[in-house]
Structure 1
Amino acid sequence: MSDQATTDTPTTPPEKPTARGRGGRYYSKLWFWILVAIVAGILLGLLAPGVARNTKWLADTFLQLIKVITGPVIFCTVVVGIASLGNLARAGGLAVRALVYFLLATVASLALGLVAANVIQPGAGFSAPPSAADLKQAQAQLAPATHDAGVIDFITKDLLPTSFLQPFVTNQVLQVLVLAILTACATSMLAPALRERVVGVVDTASKVIFGIIKIIMWVAPLGAFGGMAYTVAVFGGGALGSLGLLMLAFWGTCAVFVFGVLGAVAAWSGFSIFKFIRLIKDELLIILGTSSSETVLPRLLAKLEAAGASRQTVGVVIPTGYSFNLDGTCIYLTLGALFILQAGGEQIGIGTQIGLLLLMVLTSKGAAGITGAGLVTLAASLQAFGGEFFSPEAVAIGIALVVGIDRVMSEGRALTNCIGNGVATMVIARLQGERDDERFQAVLNDPSLVDDAMSRMSQAS
Structure 2
Amino acid sequence: MAMATTESRAPAAGEDTSPKASIWRNLGFQVAVSMVLGVGIGLIWPEFATSLKVLGDIFLRLIKTAVAPLVFLTVVVGITAAGDVKRVGKVGLIAIVYFEIVSTMALALGLVFGNLLGIGRNLGRLAASDGAAKGAAAAVQAAKSSHTTFEQFLLNIFPDNFIGAFARGELLQVLVISLLFGFGLMALKPEKRAPIERGINTISTALFEFIHVIMKLAPIGTFGAVAYAVGANGTAVLISLAYLVVAFFALVALFIVVVLGAVCGLFRINLFHLLRYIRDEIFILLGTASSESVLPRLLEKLPAYGASKQAVGLVLPTGYAFNLDGTSLFMSLCVVFLANAYNVPLSWEQELGILGIMLLTSKGAATVSGGTFVVFAATVTTTGILPIEGLALIFGVYRFMSIAVATCNVIGNTVAAIIVAKLTGEFDPSRRLAPSEDA
Correspondence list, 1:147-296, <5 A: 148=171, 149-156=174-181, 163-166=196-199, 169=202, 243-296=241-294
Residues 327/57 of structure 1: CA separation in 2 closer, same or farther (3 Å cut): closer
Deviation at 1:421, TM superposition (A): 0.2
Q: Distance in 1 between matches of 2:87 and 2:198?
A: 28
Q: Distance in 1 between matches of 2:87 and 2:267?
A: 21
Residues 379/345 of structure 1: CA separation in 2 closer, same or farther (3 Å cut): same
- Indicate whether 1:319 and 2:290 are aligned: no
Q: Distance in 1 between matches of 2:287 and 2:390?
A: 27
Question: What is the CA RMSD across the aligned residues, in angstroms?
Answer: 3.7
* Residue matched to 2:188: none
Deviation at 1:350, TM superposition (A): 1.7
* Residue matched to 2:46: none
Deviation at 1:274, TM superposition (A): 1.1
Q: Distance in 1 between matches of 2:429 and 2:196?
A: 41
* Residue matched to 2:364: 366
Residues 164/375 of structure 1: CA separation in 2 closer, same or farther (3 Å cut): closer
* Residue matched to 1:120: 117
Q: Which amino acid aligns with 2:290?
A: S
Moved more, 428-437 or 160-169: 160-169
Q: Distance in 1 between matches of 2:198 and 2:323?
A: 25
Q: What do residues 213-235 of structure 1 show as CA deviations (whole Å, max 9, x unaligned)?
A: xxxxxxxxxxxxxxxxx9xxx99
Q: Which amino acid aligns with 1:321?
A: G
* Residue matched to 1:104: 101
* Residue matched to 1:380: 378
Residues 146/374 of structure 1: CA separation in 2 closer, same or farther (3 Å cut): farther
* Residue matched to 1:456: none
Q: Distance in 2 between matches of 1:144 and 1:280?
A: 44
Q: Which amino acid aligns with 1:320?
A: T
Equivalent in 379, 396, 399 of residue 391 of structure 2: 399
Q: Residue 267 of structure 1: SS of its match in structure 2?
A: helix
* Residue matched to 1:54: 25
Q: Which amino acid aligns with 1:112?
A: L
Residues 330/98 of structure 1: CA separation in 2 closer, same or farther (3 Å cut): same
Q: Residue 351 of structure 2: SS of its match in structure 1?
A: helix
Q: Distance in 2 between matches of 1:332 and 1:144?
A: 28
Q: What do residues 32-65 of structure 1 show as CA deviations (whole Å, max 9, x unaligned)?
A: xxxxxxxxx9xx9xxxxx952225699xxxxxxx
Q: Which amino acid aligns with 1:268?
A: L
Q: Residue 404 of structure 1: SS of its match in structure 2?
A: helix
More helix by share: 2
Q: Tell me if structure 1 keeps the 8 A contact 2:305–2:429.
A: no
Q: Tell me if structure 2 keeps the 8 A contact 1:145–1:379.
A: no
Deviation at 1:263, TM superposition (A): 0.5
Q: Distance in 1 between matches of 2:99 and 2:22?
A: 42
Q: Which amino acid aligns with 1:52?
A: I
Deviation at 1:156, TM superposition (A): 3.4
* Residue matched to 1:408: 400
Q: Tell me if structure 2 keeps the 8 A contact 1:102–1:324.
A: yes
Deviation at 1:438, TM superposition (A): 3.4
Q: Distance in 1 between matches of 2:294 and 2:332?
A: 26
Deviation at 1:347, TM superposition (A): 1.8
Q: Which amino acid aligns with 1:165?
A: R
Deviation at 1:437, TM superposition (A): 1.8
* Residue matched to 1:418: 410
| Percentage of pairs with the same residue | 36
Q: Distance in 2 between matches of 1:418 and 1:411?
A: 11
Q: Tell me if structure 2 keeps the 8 A contact 1:240–1:405.
A: no
Q: Residue 370 of structure 1: SS of its match in structure 2?
A: coil
* Residue matched to 2:49: none
Deviation at 1:356, TM superposition (A): 1.1
Q: Residue 256 of structure 1: SS of its match in structure 2?
A: helix
Q: Distance in 2 between matches of 1:146 and 1:259?
A: 39
Q: Distance in 2 between matches of 1:265 and 1:57?
A: 34
Q: Which amino acid aligns with 2:296?
A: P
Equivalent in 324, 328, 331 of residue 329 of structure 2: 331
Q: What do residues 335-386 of structure 1 show as CA deviations (whole Å, max 9, x unaligned)?
A: 1111011000122122221111112111111112111222111111122123
Deviation at 1:163, TM superposition (A): 2.9
Q: Distance in 1 between matches of 2:93 and 2:118?
A: 37
Deviation at 1:439, TM superposition (A): 3.4
Q: Which amino acid aligns with 1:111?
A: A
Q: Distance in 1 between matches of 2:417 and 2:253?
A: 20
Q: Distance in 2 between matches of 1:357 and 1:385?
A: 10
* Residue matched to 1:310: 308
Equivalent in 347, 350, 353 of residue 349 of structure 1: 347
Equivalent in 415, 420, 438 of residue 428 of structure 1: 420
Q: Distance in 2 between matches of 1:159 and 1:121?
A: 43
Q: Residue 431 of structure 2: SS of its match in structure 1?
A: helix
Q: Distance in 2 between matches of 1:240 and 1:412?
A: 20
Residues 57/408 of structure 1: CA separation in 2 closer, same or farther (3 Å cut): closer
Q: Tell me if structure 2 keeps the 8 A contact 1:158–1:366.
A: no
Q: What do residues 173-207 of structure 1 show as CA deviations (whole Å, max 9, x unaligned)?
A: xxxxxxxxxxxxxxxxxxxxxxxxxxxxxxxxxxx
| Unaligned segments of structure 1, at least 5 residues | 1-40, 45-49, 59-73, 83-87, 130-142, 173-229, 452-461
Q: Distance in 2 between matches of 1:404 and 1:144?
A: 29
Deviation at 1:164, TM superposition (A): 4.9
Q: Tell me if structure 1 keeps the 8 A contact 2:170–2:382.
A: no
Q: Tell me if structure 1 keeps the 8 A contact 2:106–2:255.
A: yes
Q: Tell me if structure 2 keeps the 8 A contact 1:321–1:421.
A: yes
Moved more, 424-433 or 360-369: 360-369
